[in-house]
């Protein structure tokens, strides 16, 4: 049986930080590259939950993540194409993080990831 080095870490995080960590992990494991602003935008969406598109765009500008609501809309269109965000409705569109991401955003959150690397035996 192969020996392995086991590292156990416990870290208490804020609500947005734990959402952001999950998004970073998802993007890393799926080879999706996002800018810092794009990641912050998705983090804010995760914290808000499902919300109206125009309202979210304005909030993102108020948080100084992007400079204009149109820039937010452009990113959200990109995020929909790569299945990070889900849009619903036709008149007042609702947006949310895609359920496929399995990002936990409500209640107490404990993440238990098991990551491993196995060397080839000779």
> E strands of 8-114, at which residues?
51-52, 85-88, 94-97
The pLDDT assigned to 19 comes to 97
Q: Domain residue spans in the chain? A: 15-101
The pLDDT assigned to 119 comes to 84
Calpha distance 85→97 (Å, rounded) = 4
* 15-101, CATH topology level: Arc Repressor Mutant, subunit A (1.10.10)
Residue pair 11/21 in contact (Cβ under 8 Å)? The answer is no
The pLDDT assigned to 122 comes to 55
Q: What is the full per-residue pLDDT of the chain (122 aa) written as tens digits?
A: 568 888 888 999 999 999 999 999 999 999 999 999 999 999 999 999 999 999 999 999 999 999 999 999 999 999 999 999 999 987 779 999 999 999 999 999 999 988 888 887 65
């Amino acid at each position: 049986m192969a020996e392995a080095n086991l590292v156990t870490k416990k870290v208490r995080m804020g609500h947005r930080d734990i959402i952001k960590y999950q998004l970073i992990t998802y993007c890393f494991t799926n080879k999706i590259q996002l800018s810092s602003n794009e990641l912050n935008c998705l983090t804010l969406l995760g914290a808000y939950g499902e919300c109206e598109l125009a309202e979210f765009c304005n909030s993102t500008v108020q948080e100084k993540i992007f400079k204009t609501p149109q820039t937010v809309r452009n990113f959200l269109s990109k995020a929909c194409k790569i299945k990070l965000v889900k849009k619903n409705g036709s008149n007042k569109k609702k947006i949310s993080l895609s359920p496929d991401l399995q990002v936990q955003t409500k209640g107490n959150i404990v993440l238990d990831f098991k990551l491993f690397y196995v060397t080839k035996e000779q």
